[in-house]
Amino acid sequence: MSKKYFGTDGIRGKVGEYPITADFLLKLGWATGKVFANEGKGLVLVGKDTRISGYMFESALEAGLSAAGVDTRLLGPMPTPAIAYLTRTLRAQAGIVISASHNPYYDNGIKFFSIKGMKLPDALEEKIEYYLDAPMTTVESAHLGKAKRVEDARGRYIEFCKATIPPSLSLDGLKIVVDCAHGATYNIAPYVFTEVGAEVISIGIEPNGLNINQDCGATAPQALVAKVIETQADLGIALDGDGDRLIMVDHHGEVVDGDELLYIIAKSRLEQHQLKVPVVGTLMTNLGMEHALQKLNIPLVRANVGDRYVMEQLLHHGGIIGGESSGHIMCLDRTTTGDGIVAALQVLAEMQQTGKDLHTLKAGMDKYPQVLLNVKVAKKINPVEIPAIQQAVLAVEKSLNTDGRVLLRASGTEALIRIMVEGIDEPKVVAHAQQLAEVVKNSVST
């Protein structure tokens, strides 16, 4: 069944433009309530990040859920993975996250978690969509849902994060800069790292509703790089606005991306005899990581781009470690979803246990040069269906042999062909990417 409202990660868009409007969120709360009231005794958690529209949408969802006869527990500003954790531990039927993740403040969105702390299965999203297109009703007054705030939500999640590394392990002696992107981790992440012993310098902890992800956080680590160098810190940690994405910076000021962090965590689990293979990446995972894992006899499975698809492959293959270059990292032996704070703790634990700094740990993987180009087309097409493009791709793959990789795909949202070429030889990679872009331009009318 084709879904009308849900994308690969919930519902997202610009505030004030359908469907990210107060009236739609009221109806979405009601539709969600109808589904989960039918599934069992209704209790739904609602959390949000720090963008200003969260106040409006929190109230709209609460009203809709109440109209459906479902009780609500309001968490306030909390990281997305915290809401997944609390949905499980508070035995809620579902958790709702009001967040547009790494997007700017004028966007917002809705994500859902099941009682297991995982993204909703397609069947439940389809049930919600069914009610979204049905007339809205209200239960009798005696059966209206009630709303309460969970006063200790922050403390519960802080303790959970700390428990994902051994209690005997201390980060004493580490100076860390933590960039919270003026987002949902602003009042959580600094405390987690401080309470496990690190000296913490915090930036991006002054949310005003409009500055979330603005020139800071995992999508813009330049401020973190500068602060690490300025303070001579051992490393930096950058989270995104909702706390499910992680990028780190070593003491030289070099950015350590999701692929490199995934490699460090997988290698650590292997050495501790705790790894369940395969490791799962995506179509965009750097070939250098795949080759580094091969040297450790760790197979890599590539999923479609998106943490939802990484999770699907982890569950299908029985793996525990997976993620994306962008910094979504899943440690399923510790939690049920991508979690920036938990992933960072796993890397810090490996540093303390081995006595190696972050720069040394990432050196086990050589990240290959990767060139990404977009070519506009008149309409959405599948590039592999055009013979001239097929032939050009085969020629480039033959030239790169096992030292490189090519990926052409149509954008899922725009009339673009996305071209990715990576390999050991950077000039060769650049030339091949430009060559393929010219072939695509000449093969399709713009």
Q: Which CATH superfamily is domain 258-367 in?
A: Alpha-D-Glucose-1,6-Bisphosphate, subunit A, domain 3 (3.40.120.10)
Q: Is the pLDDT of residue 387 over 70?
A: yes
Q: Is the pLDDT of residue 38 over 80?
A: no
Alpha helix (H) residue ranges in 135-240: 153-162, 189-195, 222-231
Q: Which two tokens stand for residue 203?
A: 């930036």
Given CA atoms 383, 384, 386, 392 in this order, what sign does their dihedral have?
positive
- The domain locations on the chain are 11-151, 171-256, 258-367, 370-443
Q: Which of 53, 66, 99, 101 is catalytic?
A: 101
Q: Which two tokens stand for residue 319?
A: 């793996």
User: Per-residue confidence at 41, pLDDT binned at 50, 70, 90?
Assistant: low
Q: Is the pLDDT of residue 446 over 60?
A: no
Q: Which fold has domain 11-151?
A: Alpha-D-Glucose-1,6-Bisphosphate; Chain A, domain 3 (3.40.120)
The answer to whether 11-151 and 171-256 have equal CATH topology is yes
Mean pLDDT of 410-433: 90
Q: Is the pLDDT of residue 23 over 50?
A: yes
User: Per-residue confidence at 223, pLDDT binned at 50, 70, 90?
Assistant: very high
Q: Is 232 left (phi over 0), alpha (psi -120 to 50) or beta?
A: left
268-297 pLDDT tens trace: 999 999 999 999 999 999 999 999 999 999
Kindly report the average pLDDT of the chain as a whole number.
Answer: 95
| Dihedrals phi, psi of 287, to nearest 5 degrees | -60, -30
Q: For the residues of 382-440, what is the DSSP string, one character each? A: -GGGSHHHHHHHHHHHHHHGGGEEEEEEE-SSSSEEEEEEEES-HHHHHHHHHHHHHHH
Provide the pLDDT for residue 411: 77
For the question of residue 443 being annotated catalytic, the response is: no
Q: Is the pLDDT of residue 252 over 50?
A: yes
Mean pLDDT of 249-271: 98
**Residues of 286-312 as b/e, b for ≥16 C-beta within 10 angstroms?**
bbbbbbbbeeeebebbbbebbbbbbbb
208: nearest Cα among 169, 229, 182, 234: 182
| CATH class of residue range 171-256 | alpha beta
- Cβ 65 vs Cβ 74: under 8 Å: no
Given CA atoms 257, 259, 262, 267 in this order, what sign does their dihedral have?
negative
* Percent of the chain clearing pLDDT 90 (strictly above): 90
309: nearest Cα among 296, 290, 328, 291: 328
105-152 pLDDT tens trace: 999 999 999 999 999 989 999 999 999 999 999 999 999 999 999 999
Which of helix, strand or coil describes residue 291? helix
| Architecture per CATH, 370-443 | 2-Layer Sandwich (3.30)
Burial class, 422, CB count within 10 angstroms (exposed 0-12 / middle 13-18 / buried 19+): buried
Which of helix, strand or coil describes residue 73? strand
399-416 pLDDT tens trace: 999 999 999 988 766 778
Q: Is the pLDDT of residue 378 over 80?
A: no
**pTM, to two decimals:** 0.94
| Angle at alpha carbon of residue 26, lines to 22 and 27, rounded to 5° | 120
Query: Using DSSP, how many helices (H) and how many strands (E) does the chain show?
Result: 14, 18
User: Per-residue confidence at 161, pLDDT binned at 50, 70, 90?
Assistant: very high
User: Per-residue confidence at 339, pLDDT binned at 50, 70, 90?
Assistant: very high
Provide the pLDDT for residue 8: 80
- Cβ 50 vs Cβ 182: under 8 Å: yes
